[in-house]
Amino acid sequence: GDSVTQMEGPVTLSEEAFLTINCTYTATGYPSLFWYVQYPGEGLQLLLKATKADDKGSNKGFEATYRKETTSFHLEKGSVQVSDSAVYFCALSPLEGGNQFYFGTGTSLTVIP
């Protein structure tokens, strides 16, 4: 079945460090891929998305490229800030069938000044 595997956390970085959170997926066909962010005490917010192979999603300095050959959608940011501290979820939505999302387990990021 469809699933998402995410790099386990927690991750602690110093401000301005480079961030990578790995995400790989298993799916039939060509799913859409998403990164959601959950700030402390808040709900899930869409961070970025990609709907087909080689698409790059980007938002707020974060980027992720849909790589079909490696079935990956790794999240990157060149210089993290304290305000980026949150839990990050990779998710996929199958191309066919229903509209449910499959989420990874989430990766907690703490950025220290």
Partner 1 sequence: EPEVTQTPSHQVTQMGQEVILRCVPISNHLYFYWYRQILGQKVEFLVSFYNNEISEKSEIFDDQFSVERPDGSNFTLKIRSTKLEDSAMYFCASSLTKPQHFGDGTRLSIL
By the criterion CB under 8 A, which residues form the site for partner 1?
32, 34, 36, 42-46, 49, 51, 89, 91, 93, 98-106
The answer to whether 55 and 68 have CB atoms below 8 angstroms apart is: no
Q: Measured from the CB atom, is 70 or 99 closer to partner 1?
A: 99
Q: How far is the CB of 77 from partner 1 (least distance, A)?
A: 20
Q: From CA 75, how far away is CA 23, in angstroms rounded?
A: 8
Q: How far is the CB of 82 from partner 1 (least distance, A)?
A: 22
The answer to whether 30 and 52 have CB atoms below 8 angstroms apart is: yes
Q: Measured from the CB atom, is 84 or 106 closer to partner 1?
A: 106
Q: From CA 32, how far away is CA 39, in angstroms rounded?
A: 23
Q: Is 84 helix (H, G, I), strand (E, B) or coil?
A: helix
Q: Measured from the CB atom, is 43 or 113 closer to partner 1?
A: 43
Q: How far is the CB of 46 from partner 1 (least distance, A)?
A: 5
